[in-house]
A and B are shown apart, each in its own frame.
Chain A
Amino acid sequence: MGSGKLRSALVIGGQGIRARKLRTFLSMTSLFLGVLAVLTVQAGAEIAERAMLSGVELTRGKDGTLQMFVPQEEPALGVVERTLAGRSDGVAVVGMNAIIGEPGVRPINDGAVPFDHPRVGGPEGGSGKPDGQAIEVQLEALTGDVRGFRPFRQVSGQWLDFASAPALAPRIVVNEEAAIGLRRHRVPGEMALPGAAVHVTPQVVGVVEDGSPRPSVYVRMDELRTWPPGSSNADTSRGGSRVQVMLSPSATDLVQTLRSRLIGVGVPADELDAHPIDSREELEGQLSLVRLIFLGMAALVLLIGVAGILNVGLATVGERVEELALRRAVGTSRLLLAGIVLAETLLTGLLTAVAAIGTGAAGVKVGSALLGPSYPALQGISFPWQAGVAGVVAGVAAGVLGGLVPAIRAARIPIAAVMRA
């Protein structure tokens, strides 16, 4: 269709909409719910995916981050520490369990379980130690700022300062669950590491949300090393006896250097593969079926809207038979006549999509403001552009589907019969 024809179709379509405002409004109303349903499903799925992904990113790491596991023993651990020293594109995490509180007692949450979990194993839990004022935490010693890979949200205080000289009393940042334990049980400020001969007195400098349900504590690895010699040889209960190394996807040179050095100290090469984290793909797999089911339901609602447009479109063509015949008489071709009717339903569909997108975006904003305080995942969310695209596609598709039959009928109007009538 040439530009003249397209302009004519749009001009006449626009005139038709203005001339039949109420009818257009009724068509839009029936279609609005359908487009809104598609938008809601799409936006809901996107927001759910983002919320789930942000939770997973806190615990597993950002999508695309390269992950490597290295034996937690010397000289490999020393090589990792030296290679990553001062780098922001790679961080090593050494995990172990630690007990904060009275020494030589069974912790309140034996096994670093969440504090609301029921205690297992009877009064002494089979450990042979008496119950005491101590909590068990999952300690993660870091060679650098891990937030580039696991975007922890600061709840209070501050994060670990990796630029300053190591402190003698290790500074620790606790997660919200550990903060609950410390607040609730008022344990003595003494931390015991398995296998370490000396207890340390940590300074809590901040609280973060890290997505973990277990009480966790983050500490600079060098501060842990300066205080209890040999602590790096402590047993770990997480990740076996391996150090987790997280690397930026662009840090290929660092990966290469680290691998070479570790192979040089005898670590088998086949144990040093860097795998990217692909949480999004896994989540999309889980969400896709649910999304499909809901999209199917939304499509049904949309079909009702299409039927509405079709119904109104057919009635309108019936009423406009003289106008359409006249337009043919003054030189409008059958094809353009069909285009005019389609342009009207298409514009109606687009207007509906715009209205539905506006409503959806406002709904997301209001929902975020109202529910954000109760559901942190909903804080600061914005209307996903994918939902906008889905809305426009749904509106246009409904406009075309609903307008097709009226358009064909309009194109078949016989001029002579109408003009003679």
Chain B
Amino acid sequence: MTPLIHLTGITKTLKGQGEPRSILSGVDLTLHAGRSVAILGRSGSGKSTLLSVLGLFDRADGGRYLLGDKDITRLPEQRAAALRSAEFGFVFQRFFLLKHLTAAQNVAMAFVNGQGWLPRGKRRARVMAALDLVGIAHLAEHRPPRLSGGEQQRVAIARALVREPRVLLADEPTGALDTETGALVVDVLRDATSRGCGLVLVTHDRDHARKMDDVLELREGRFA
């Protein structure tokens, strides 16, 4: 069976002021549909950089990135944006919700990105279904300042799920939440895999990591 994601020998060097610094030095990773993988590692180990490469925010310097059977290692920006919209969902440590929009409007953001246009009615139905999936449909008209941290992160997850992505990338999604709420959020993310979505969870928390199908630890730019 063709894996959803297949990385081989991914390298990434950050070139800033001073000496270039190698962040990823030959990362291999395989993710199948409906499976989840947790990536552990110390700060600066390259977890977030790897997630940036996976989410097409950044390009790898070397190696090969296959999405299904499609080589997307060197994708032009325009096509990368289209792919991000169609295939990926993102959840971040900070929720990145827009305060002036309601929860429903924040979720609908995923549709208002120039990658096709859904009529208002259909858009609304998809948004409400996504909010329902994470258990906060009743908070659809609330603005983020009126929501708790856990509720805000659920809105962010609904935004990631609303386009029914094939891959869900979560970068320390529980980092800003208390333990109990964090556990609930990880459960919600884990549930997404039951609908065939692949999940990559970057976390510091070994308890959350253990809930995933696979656990990988990144040390000095490669998996240990």
Footprint of B on A, CB under 8 Å?
Answer: 1-5, 7-9, 11-12, 15, 18-19, 322-323, 326-336, 414-416, 419-420
Contacts and interface: CB of A to CB of B under 8 A. Distances in A.
Contact of B114 (A2, A414, A420): A2
B48 interface: yes
Interface in B80-112: 81-82, 84-86, 90, 92, 94, 96, 98, 100-101, 105, 109-110, 112
A336 B116 CA distance: 13
B77 A331 contact: no
Contacts of B117: 3-4, 7-8
Given A331-B82, A333-B77, A333-B81, A11 B48 contact: no
A419 B85 CA distance: 17
A409 B81 CA distance: 18
A331 B90 CA distance: 11
A8 B111 CA distance: 9
Given A4-B115, A7-B117, A419-B57, A330 B52 contact: no
A336 B52 contact: no
A4 B100 contact: no
Contacts of B85: 330-332
A126 to B, nearest CB: 88
B96 A9 contact: no
Contact of B100 (A19, A322, A326, A420): A19
Contact of B112 (A1, A12, A329, A416): A12
Chain A contact surface mostly: helix
Interface in B36-81: 48-49, 52, 55, 57-58, 77-78, 81
A326 B96 contact: yes
Centre residue among B96, B105, B112 by max chain A CB count within 10 A: B112
Contacts of B82: 331, 333
The 5 closest A-B pairs by CB, nearest first: A331-B85, A19-B100, A5-B114, A4-B117, A416-B52
B166 interface: no
A8 B171 contact: no
A18 B96 contact: no
Contacts of B110: 330-331
A334 B92 contact: no
Centre residue among A4, A11, A12, A419 by max chain B CB count within 10 A: A419
B35 interface: no
B100 A329 contact: no
22 contacts: A4-B116, A8-B117, A11-B112, A19-B100, A322-B96, A328-B57, A329-B55, A329-B57, A329-B84, A329-B90, A330-B159, A331-B82, A331-B85, A331-B86, A331-B113, A332-B81, A333-B78, A335-B78, A415-B52, A419-B48, A419-B90, A419-B92
Contacts of A419: 48, 52, 57, 90, 92, 96, 171
Interface string B151-178: 0000000010000000000010000000
B52 A333 contact: no
Contacts of B94: 322
Nearest to A19: B100
Contacts of A4: 114-117
B101 A15 contact: yes
Nearest to B101: A15
Interface string B164-198: 00000001000000000000000000000000000
Given A12-B112, A336-B113, A331 B101 contact: no
A4 B81 CA distance: 14
B81 A328 contact: yes
A4 B114 CA distance: 5
Contact of A15 (B48, B49, B81, B100): B100
Contacts of B98: 19, 323, 326
Nearest to B80: A333
B100 A330 contact: no
B57 A416 contact: yes
B81 A331 contact: yes
A336 B85 CA distance: 13
Contacts of B96: 322-323, 326, 419
B130 to A, nearest CB: 13
B109 A330 contact: yes
Nearest to A420: B48
A416 B92 CA distance: 11
Contacts of B55: 329
